[in-house]
Structure 1
């Protein structure tokens, strides 16, 4: 009979050590018990024994053994991301302890969507660092799906995002900064000089493809459907700001985007806004945070961001 998840978890908690996970991850990376042993400072028999133990705990094979090394089973390939996240979290925890012991400084963990980073944090965090040099800010940039995971797993103290439809019990959301949808192009795009454009005037233009999970992409698809149009796309879907900038500067392309996402490039004159008069509304950026259990550093940063956003919208 296949053991339940509760039974497997109890076995791991009773018999497994972090060395078991480290050995598994190392063999998955190097494809060889000997190379894995060299990488983590153990002997080859010790690494082999650790993986055999883990297979016994889980009651499933994790590797196919062959003359040239060890190859992951399908089960191991799907298990690997969970193990890697566990080890990475443990490493981050030890870094936190070492930092606090050596410096006495406080740490606040911040997650932020792309618009919050480019629209606010690139301006606010340098000033915060000068004002509060005793607080270390650990920033993770995340998309909507990644943000949900960071919140659910309590991996951040503050999450800068748009208001989610639901969030875990004990969290609260407060609006921080207004935002809007804009059409952006390179400074030399011929439409930059035109005034009073409407979205219907732009349907036949070439557009830079947006990620399908973003609010802007969903809005763009709805607009195209409303006008019975089929978008002409430059088919390169990226999350890299540098790549988006390069595409818009080098080609005659447009993109529909939150102003916050491109604000840094617009302020520097690297990109330009089109004068489009009928843009749809966009929810503001805000801060999602634990209601009662925030540390002092998180409270200090949260208060600072609200004051900064009020003075520098």
Structure 2
């Protein structure tokens, strides 16, 4: 049985207030239209829903039965409409982001700070992992979009936008500080302990390719899950690591670690926004993505 939803909504308000005129005011309608809609609903259902009283109307037994089912439905619909309005006005909602440690520190953190100050009621969920894991999260639909570091392997269903270039530098701790006085090649670098992101990460793939192009095998002595673990290992003299220049700037200036002068040139890498072309972003996620793009235009390269 197909019944116009408006009929049920009008029925709900007439039953709630037990008065056609008050229901009309609540619905910004007029009393004749309200009466006509109730009559149409009664005709469609084949029963009388209201009986008149001296003060208005009251539900018949059939009306009571219908009302018991209509109340939760109307309340759920109105709650949904209110929630959508709040999300549209960015007063409610959740944004889920997949990201890497480098992308988080280089771009995402300052933008999240601005976003949170502007929209304090929006909740943010961050899945911090490697680029492949962040892309898998995007593919599974568990995040709205991902902010990752190159190289990025992706299918046609994804759209990738580069938002910032960054450079890695090889760094070491104090016990290997003697290496900073010379220009060192990858071959000699390989003779010392290397610290790297784990196999399967974009950074591991990137340096495997660089070493291979120079006839060398990339075989780090220590592998870690996220980039933030490399720096403390370098500081504690466990080996040499490649880290984003901006990330280690203060540690280089304080003399806690040292930059090595590499003979071979290491090409820049990129921080990228990745999203699924087949999935529309919500209002809050779209706003955050646009803030990231705007930030990259102003401060990206």
Q: Give me the TM-score of the superposition, normalised by structure 2.
A: 0.57
Unmatched tracts of structure 1, length 5 or more: 1-96
Q: From the superposition, tell whether residues 154 and 190 of structure 1 become closer, same or farther in structure 2 (CA, over 3 Å).
A: same
Residue equivalent to 2:249: 266
Secondary structure of 1:212 counterpart: coil
For 1:189 and 1:310, the matched residues in 2 are separated by 39
State the Cα distance separating 1:278 from its structure 2 match: 2.4
Aligned pairs for 1:77-116 within 5 A:
104-116=91-103
Give secondary structure in 2 for the equivalent of 1:178.
Answer: strand
Residues in 2 aligned to 1:227 and 1:173: alpha-carbon distance in whole angstroms: 29
Offset, 1:297: 0.8
Against the structure 1 CA distance between its residues 293 and 217, is the aligned structure 2 distance closer, same or farther, given a 3 Å change threshold? Answer: closer
Structure 1 residue 290: deviation in Å?
Answer: 3.7
Matched, 1:164 2:152: yes
1:239 maps to what in 2? 225
Q: Deviations 1:160-179 (Å, cap 9, x if unpaired)?
A: 1236343353x422111112
Task: Note if 1:255 corresponds to 2:241.
Answer: yes
Query: Which of residues 271, 275, 283 is equivalent to 1:289?
Result: 275
CA radius of gyration, larger in = 2
- The yes-or-no answer on 1:215 pairing with 2:202 is yes
Query: Is 1:150 matched with 2:137?
Result: yes
Do 2:139 and 2:276's aligned partners in 1 also have CA atoms closer than 8 Å? no
1:179 aligns with 2:162: no
Counterpart mapping for 1:195-206 below 5 A? 196-206=183-193
CA–CA separation in structure 2 for the residues paired with 1:187 and 1:132: 44
The residue that corresponds to 2:105 in the other structure is 118
State the distance in 1 between where 2:152 and 2:217 align.
30
With over 3 angstroms needed to count, the CA separation of the structure-2 counterparts of 1:239 and 1:178, relative to structure 1, is: same
Kept after mapping to 2: 8 A contact 1:113/1:147: yes
Taking the aligned partners of 1:272 and 1:135, their CA distance within structure 2 comes to 41
Report deviation, 1:185.
2.1
Change (3 A) 1:215 1:226: same
Distance 1:228 1:198, change over 3 A: closer
How far does residue 156 in structure 1 lie from its aligned partner after superposition? 1.3
Deviation, 1:187, is 5.8
> Are residues 192 and 128 of structure 1, via their aligned partners in 2, closer, same or farther at CA, if it must alter by over 3 Å?
farther
Instruction: List per-residue Cα deviations over 1:121-140 (Å, max 9, x = no partner).
Output: 23332233223323222111
For 2:227 and 2:151, the matched residues in 1 are separated by: 23
SS at match of 2:132: helix
Structure 2 unpaired stretches of 5+: 1-82
- Find 1:194's aligned residue among 167, 181, 184: 181
Q: 1:110 to 1:212 in 2, by over 3 A?
A: same
Q: Between Structure 1 and Structure 2, how many residues are aligned?
A: 209
Counterpart Cα distance in 2 of 1:176 and 1:223: 23
Which residue of the other structure, out of 106, 112, 116, is the alignment partner of 1:129? Answer: 116
Give the CA deviation at 1:265: 3.8
Q: Is the 8 A contact 1:204 1:231 kept in 2?
A: no
- Deviations 1:275-308, CA, capped at 9 Å, x for gaps: 3252332441111124461111111111111222
Quick one: structure 1 residues 146 and 230, their matched pair in 2 at CA, closer, same or farther if it must change by over 3 Å? closer
CA distance, structure 2, for counterparts of residue 284 and residue 209 of structure 1: 18
Indicate how the Cα distance of structure 1 residues 167 and 307 shifts in structure 2: closer, same or farther if over 3 A, else same: same
C-alpha distance 285-240 of structure 1, shift in aligned 2 (>3 A): closer
